Amino acid sequence: MEGLLLVVPISGLLALAVAAYFAYDVLKSDRGTPAMQEVAGAIYTAAVAFIRRQYTTIAMLAVVGMIVIGAVIYVFETAPGVSKEELALKTAFAFIVGAAASMLSGIIGMFVAVKSNLRTAAAAQTSVGDAMRIALRGGAVSGILVVALSLIGVFAIFALYGGFTKPAEAPFTIVGFGFGASFVALFAQLGGGIYTKAADLGADLVGKVEAGIPEDDPRNAAVIADLVGDNVGDCAGRGADLFESTAAENIGAMILGVAIFTVTKNPAWIMFPLVVRGFGLVASMIGIFLVRGNEKRDPMTSLNFGYYITVALSIVGMYFVTNSMLNEKGGAIWFFYAGVIGILTSLAFVFITQYYTAGSWRPVKEIAEATKTGPATTIISGIAVGYETTAASVITICIALFLSHFFGEQWGTATGLPHGGIYGTAVATMGMLMSAAFILAMDTFGPITDNAGGVASMANASHETRERTDRLDAVGNTTKALTKGYAVASAALAAFLLFSAYLDKITDLRKAAGITPSDFHVVDLAKVDVFIGGLLGAMLVYLFSSLAIRAVGRAGSAIIQEVRTQFREHPGIMAGTEKPDYARVVDITTSSALRNMIAPGLLAVCAPVVVGVLLKAEAEAAFLMVGTMAGVILATVLNNGGGAWDNAKKYIEAGMLKDSLGKVLGKGSPEHAAAVVGDTVGDPFKDTAGPSLHVLIKLLSTITLVLAPLFI
Amino acid sequence: MEGLLLVVPISGLLALAVAAYFAYDVLKSDRGTPAMQEVAGAIYTAAVAFIRRQYTTIAMLAVVGMIVIGAVIYVFETAPGVSKEELALKTAFAFIVGAAASMLSGIIGMFVAVKSNLRTAAAAQTSVGDAMRIALRGGAVSGILVVALSLIGVFAIFALYGGFTKPAEAPFTIVGFGFGASFVALFAQLGGGIYTKAADLGADLVGKVEAGIPEDDPRNAAVIADLVGDNVGDCAGRGADLFESTAAENIGAMILGVAIFTVTKNPAWIMFPLVVRGFGLVASMIGIFLVRGNEKRDPMTSLNFGYYITVALSIVGMYFVTNSMLNEKGGAIWFFYAGVIGILTSLAFVFITQYYTAGSWRPVKEIAEATKTGPATTIISGIAVGYETTAASVITICIALFLSHFFGEQWGTATGLPHGGIYGTAVATMGMLMSAAFILAMDTFGPITDNAGGVASMANASHETRERTDRLDAVGNTTKALTKGYAVASAALAAFLLFSAYLDKITDLRKAAGITPSDFHVVDLAKVDVFIGGLLGAMLVYLFSSLAIRAVGRAGSAIIQEVRTQFREHPGIMAGTEKPDYARVVDITTSSALRNMIAPGLLAVCAPVVVGVLLKAEAEAAFLMVGTMAGVILATVLNNGGGAWDNAKKYIEAGMLKDSLGKVLGKGSPEHAAAVVGDTVGDPFKDTAGPSLHVLIKLLSTITLVLAPLFI
């Protein structure tokens, strides 16, 4: 077992090396024309300025959070054999390390992404294959780093807190790491999500709709802010989201391992999640290496090929690790099955998301048809599609939960050991997370290609160059949608194991406090306070989304006013003789996004505390569980509804919509205008509220785990 | 106690007399000009034709339902001392009586409403006060009949099934009555809701948007269908909704009474819900009698006055009945408090709904401001408002649940008797339902005044007449929104007692089947299958809404095609020299609505059966509970979001929106066009999916209660 454990640091260090190599590979590539460099330079400067201001704010909030957590644990928590001071310090330290690691991975990933867009645009002057390689490797830097840092971080702090000498206690003390990561992710995703969609909304409404100029037109003062937005929202935001997913779910799985360790005294049950993720990281890197684009093939086919490789290698790795580590008393095959369920779930979500958001299937076509009767029916149809998508997603999640739990129970029957069912869901979650680095690389590929298109367009690159970037950009839209589906599904699967960890934790606290009966593994919805907790959890999800969506509207209005003023006061801008003041719009977007992320962020952090303190542990569990269900479902609605509108617009722009006489209804038609309304409505859904909900769900789990002593 | 029980038949018969008097009063009023009579005649014919076809379909479905239920109970249910045949026959008979009573009240109410619109329009030629009296009394016929029929129905079947000799057993056998009512309500609300909004959508999009003719213009072929829609959706649909609310909640409360009866042997605990509702019916009738409109006062003020009277009388009645019936061992005051909580909750929802959907407060103004940047921001802003409304509604429901339960527990402490907490929520629910007849009268007032406006407009009545009907119509919009808030809140409050009834029922079944432990009062979300049940319940709500919304879109498209064809093939219609073929549009709308109500209806009926059979009783309970939470919240979003868009449009039409220079942005402005998009999107939300969700929630409760033997 000790040998296998070495996989963790080795794969982590290997990943850092691969990331460094990819970064080097990208940075040494051709930097294109001076015009391109100028545009990319402006994006770079603005993105760095935003991230600096955003992360300064977040760092201050994190320090406050750390102090509060330390104080709460010092005052309320009691554990046998550990001093209050040690417990408080350890948790607070883990929190700040988790927060710092999350910030670090966001910053580095975004830095490379912003550098990659220029190189991708430059490469697109000659070849799709090269452009694709650069964009994917740029994205992979972020993807690999995020996963490696979360793996190394959890491993290091586990080792530091005596995981190898007292494996049963360490997992609980490192929960703070996951909470720190969630905390940063929440604000990173909210701030970035508000920034990106406010800028997008502002740029589109004033540019495309009012002034009638095309997307990414240099005369639009909001265009740089719009391009910056893709980086701060999709790169930094989603990176932080998946950083905390992998960290929190890993820790949750380790906590469940403690229960079996207590019986078998074999620490492999606790270490398994770390090792299997190390294998997943390696599988993802191989997959990324094997992606090769060329001029003829659809870039999505190339990416899918790499993904299938990753999935296949993950299955092999899962077989090897379950057999090596979990074969005590035999029966490891059941956990292998559970792991495969998790891996296949990620694949299922890739297909579901494609079906609902890609133009070749019924849902997007239905929305495109609805544009013929105007914007109202376009919206109605998109919302109907968004609601409908919950069915396939939820049923898939239910099957995955049921089967992985069932396989775990079969293991229990075969070996006579307890806690198999819940460990089965933990193995499935780990299986799902094995491809996280690949998925995240594909995700970051999206904003890089999007930005490359913007750079090419603003730098007046050749028609062929823009055609190439457009092709990659379309694929990027799909990969961004896939990542969200993946993030939701992993959150849903992980939620169940984090609940169990919470119930274990409360049981421990009750034991320590001498409360009888100490066992606390029932969350009884038939009690009125528990029911109320559940109802409030479901409500929180809506209130939070309302604040996030409204924040985009507010920040967007500020941008619209500014761009309008610039057009009015400087007629030279429209004529093309004067340059708009991009920096002013960037500045307004930055302050507006940061101001507006505070309210939903604080709501998310405070609501679970208030409910738990008032209604206590069992109602808090229902709050967490029903809130998670509602959050998973609403995030699915928002992500897929938004994605479907986006692609209905693209479907029309591609000339695929025809009237009854066969005439193409393309760009500039009333149908296209209606589709633009749908796309605009969908933007804050799919890029602000939806992704922020993923983070909210996991934040609820980590916050309740860490602050559990308050709810006894 | 026997004396008090007489209140039930007396108030019921009194109500029938009052309804007959109101109907006589309305029907003897002036029938207006021949032109008005012609329009009203067309509405009447079409409405009757739709109802006949719809209720024929529903009746056939109900007969199938009856046979299935009888068979299921015959095969699966076992109860000591009762033969299988008797149980199956009793439940099936109760089902069909409930279904028939629901249909009857829908038919009579709609018949009078369709007759009242003409008289209201005629009266509006001379006086607001008279028009208001006729519209309200026309609505009251429906409101009073619905409530009286449900009260008499439950009482009669309770008596018939030996309620006075074996009070502990009868409540369980009459659950079929509630199920029959829910079953009819589901299809009545779905069919009516699809009809009304498809016609509205079709008429608006082709008329106002494409042809540029005003609302209710006789040249629009869809205008009669649109006017018919208000009656079949808002009158017949909502009537069926509240019929089943009052019936199901009454039966649920009686079942909870059985638990206390078992201890005290006092049947008053079972009869209380019937008696207190009798008092509520009388209070509502007095309130309706006291409403007096006049030329100067805002009609809403007059209605509010009557409502406050009803509330005050309800509180007095509650005090009297709790003290007379529930004062065993003292402590009745606690149940009085619980009842007051219920009464005040209905008042709170009246205020919350007004705040979020009336033009004088922040939310509607915010949406109106958002129209300045186009339809996309209008939609985004409305959805943010819809999501936000869940907070106030859910918190109110939680407080009501918590306090009524708390007061019930205090009673338990005071008397040493069990089951007080849950009985407290039952008393609160009954308190809330006391004003049902008044609320429903106000609701039906809405479509009557709406139709009166349509009749006046199409009959070219004088400007003053139309101004008067417009004033009443605006109030009608508010009262319709209030009723939905009331229906959601009562569903949420009642849900908890219906869950408890379900758990009692399962316990009884387990006892009868000799399963140990037989006690079944824990719904443990921490079990994976229970969690899956909950997740599926939340998902059902979205899938059902998706089908309902899509049905409106489908039926609406068919109407649009037809109206376009008529305009194209008969140019005389637009010129005003030729009459459009209203009947054809009515016919298309009718068949389309009926065809499209089947899929969501069957989903609602089948999903709980499938989940219960596959995952068994405890998971089914979670399905029911989380489905109810999700349903209450989504219905709130849809109802209030839709209502806010509607009134944002009215706010702009009233000239209240101004640009930065103070210029009014009224009808015909781009802001108004954006607001119309919002209103159109909101229509299927607030009048099809939202109200259908109320019914779905209660159907879930009654279906699980009746089919419980399947889930053991």
Shortest CA gap A681–chain B (Å): 5
Cβ <8 Å between B377 and A553: yes
CA distance B179 to B58: 14
Number of residues that make up chain B: 712
pLDDT tens, position by position, B185-219: 999 999 999 999 999 988 888 887 777 787 778 88
Shortest CA gap B596–chain A (Å): 14
Residue B48 neighbours by CB under 8 Å, 6+ apart: B111, B114
Residue A250 CA, chain-centre distance (Å), reads 16
Model confidence at A112, pLDDT cuts 50, 70, 90, reads: confident
Is a pLDDT exceeding 70 seen at residue A589?
Answer: yes
Question: Of all residues in chain A, what percent are helix, strand and coil, respectively (each to 5)?
Answer: 85, 0, 15
Cβ <8 Å between A380 and B523: no
Model confidence at A497, pLDDT cuts 50, 70, 90, reads: confident
Helix (H/G/I), strand (E/B), else coil: B524: strand
Model confidence at A546, pLDDT cuts 50, 70, 90, reads: very high
Cβ <8 Å between B553 and A395: no
Residue in chain B closest to A399 (alpha carbons) equals B532
Q: What is the mean pLDDT of residues A568-587?
A: 88
Instruction: Give the residues across from B658 on adjacent strands.
Output: B664
Report the mean per-residue pLDDT for chain B.
Answer: 90
Q: Which residue has the tokens 């919002």?
A: B678
Range from A472-481, B50-59, B178-187 carrying the lowest mean pLDDT: A472-481
Cβ <8 Å between B376 and A626: no
**Per-residue confidence (pLDDT) for residue A232, from 0 to 100:** 85
Higher-confidence residue of A79 and B86: namely B86
Residue in chain B closest to A386 (alpha carbons) equals B546
Shortest CA gap B673–chain A (Å): 11
Which one of A383, A394, A401 has the shortest CB-CB distance to B549?
A383
CA distance A444 to A144: 11
Residue B304 neighbours by CB under 8 Å, 6+ apart: none
Q: Best residue in B540, B541, B542, B552 to probe A by mutation, most A CBs within 10 Å?
A: B542
Residues of chain B with Cβ-Cβ distance to A622 below 8 Å are 525
CA distance B269 to B255: 9
Q: Best residue in A506, A542, A557 to probe B by mutation, most B CBs within 10 Å?
A: A542
Is a pLDDT exceeding 70 seen at residue A655?
Answer: yes
pLDDT tens, position by position, B223-244: 889 888 888 888 888 888 889 8
Q: What is the mean pLDDT of residues B291-308?
A: 86
- As given in the structure block, the two tokens for residue A618 are 């069992």
Which one of A374, A523, A632 has the shortest CB-CB distance to B525?
A523
pLDDT tens, position by position, B476-499: 888 888 888 898 898 888 888 888
Residues of chain A with Cβ-Cβ distance to B681 below 8 Å are 376, 379-380, 383
Residue A306 neighbours by CB under 8 Å, 6+ apart: A287, A288, A290, A291, A438
Q: What is the mean pLDDT of residues B641-655?
A: 91
Cβ <8 Å between B380 and A538: no
Residue in chain B closest to A378 (alpha carbons) equals B681
Which one of A386, A402, A681 has the shortest CB-CB distance to B376?
A681
For the stretch B132-165, what's the b/e string if a residue is b when 16 or more beta carbons lie within 10 angstroms of its beta carbon?
Answer: bbbbbbbbbbbbbbbbbbbbbbbbbbbeebebee
Please tell me what DSSP assigns to residue A664. B
Model confidence at B2, pLDDT cuts 50, 70, 90, reads: low
Residues of chain A with Cβ-Cβ distance to B637 below 8 Å are 542
pLDDT tens, position by position, A614-639: 999 999 999 999 999 999 999 999 99
Instruction: Give the residues across from B302 on adjacent strands.
Output: none
Highest mean pLDDT of the ranges B354-358, B469-473, B541-545:
B541-545
Count of CB pairs separated by less than 8 Å, A with B: 234
CA distance A710 to A614: 10
Cβ <8 Å between A425 and B391: no
Cβ <8 Å between B538 and A383: no
Residue A270 neighbours by CB under 8 Å, 6+ apart: A163, A167, A168, A171, A254, A257, A258, A261
Is a pLDDT exceeding 70 seen at residue B90?
Answer: yes
Question: DSSP letters along A476-512, please?
Answer: HHHHHHHHHHHHHHHHHHHHHHHHHHHHHHHHHHHHH
Query: Would you tell me how many other CB atoms lie within 10 Å of the CB of residue B324?
Result: 15
CA distance A482 to A239: 14
- As given in the structure block, the two tokens for residue A662 are 């066969």
Model confidence at A413, pLDDT cuts 50, 70, 90, reads: very high
Question: DSSP letters along A169-188, please?
Answer: THHHHTHHHHHHHHHHHHHH
**Per-residue confidence (pLDDT) for residue A629, from 0 to 100:** 95
Is a pLDDT exceeding 90 seen at residue A296?
Answer: no
With vertex at residue B551, the alpha carbon angle to CA B549 and CA B552, rounded to the nearest 5 degrees, is 70
Cβ <8 Å between A394 and B677: no
Is a pLDDT exceeding 70 seen at residue A490?
Answer: yes
CA-to-CA separations, A364 to A176, A446, A640, B678, B689, in angstroms, rounded:
42, 20, 10, 21, 22
CA-to-CA separations, B466 to A576, B485, B699, in angstroms, rounded:
54, 29, 41
Shortest CA gap A557–chain B (Å): 8
Residue B349 CA, chain-centre distance (Å), reads 14
**Per-residue confidence (pLDDT) for residue B679, from 0 to 100:** 92
Q: What is the mean pLDDT of residues A689-707?
A: 91
CA distance A501 to B212: 62
Q: What is the mean pLDDT of residues B674-678?
A: 93
* Residue among B367, B373, B700, B384 at smallest CA distance from B541: B700
* Residue among A240, A233, A232, A141 at smallest CA distance from A181: A240
Is a pLDDT exceeding 80 seen at residue A359?
Answer: no
Model confidence at A206, pLDDT cuts 50, 70, 90, reads: confident
Share of chain B above pLDDT 70, in %: 99
**Per-residue confidence (pLDDT) for residue B212, from 0 to 100:** 77
Cβ <8 Å between A528 and B401: yes
How many Cα neighbours within 13 Å face the side chain of B575? Answer: 7
CA distance A440 to A427: 21
Q: What is the mean pLDDT of residues A663-688?
A: 91
Cβ <8 Å between A543 and B626: no
Shortest CA gap B118–chain A (Å): 32
pLDDT tens, position by position, A85-103: 888 999 999 999 999 999 9
CA distance A668 to A652: 10
Q: What is the mean pLDDT of residues B602-619?
A: 94
Residue in chain A closest to B527 (alpha carbons) equals A522
**Per-residue confidence (pLDDT) for residue A259, from 0 to 100:** 86
Q: Which residue has the tokens 């999206």?
A: A446
Enter the pTM of the model.
0.94
pLDDT tens, position by position, B128-172: 889 999 999 999 999 999 999 999 999 999 999 988 888 888 888
**Per-residue confidence (pLDDT) for residue A68, from 0 to 100:** 93
Residue in chain B closest to A385 (alpha carbons) equals B546
ipTM associated with this complex = 0.93
Shortest CA gap A191–chain B (Å): 18
Residue in chain A closest to B397 (alpha carbons) equals A532
**Per-residue confidence (pLDDT) for residue B1, from 0 to 100:** 58
Residues of chain B with Cβ-Cβ distance to A684 below 8 Å are 380
- As given in the structure block, the two tokens for residue B457 are 């407009």
Residue in chain B closest to A389 (alpha carbons) equals B543
CA-to-CA separations, B402 to B339, B407, B629, in angstroms, rounded:
13, 9, 15
Which one of A388, A532, A547 has the shortest CB-CB distance to B398?
A532
Range from A515-524, B270-279, B629-638 carrying the lowest mean pLDDT: A515-524
Which one of B385, B425, B543 has the shortest CB-CB distance to A387?
B543
Residues of chain B with Cβ-Cβ distance to A375 below 8 Å are 375-376, 677
Residue in chain A closest to B679 (alpha carbons) equals A376
Q: What is the mean pLDDT of residues B559-570?
A: 89
Share of chain A above pLDDT 90, in %: 56
Cβ <8 Å between B503 and A524: no
Model confidence at A1, pLDDT cuts 50, 70, 90, reads: low
Is a pLDDT exceeding 80 seen at residue A211?
Answer: no
Highest mean pLDDT of the ranges A666-680, B627-641, B662-676:
B627-641
Shortest CA gap B668–chain A (Å): 17
Q: What is the mean pLDDT of residues B576-584?
A: 87
Q: Best residue in A208, A209, A377, A505 to probe B by mutation, most B CBs within 10 Å?
A: A377
Shortest CA gap A463–chain B (Å): 31
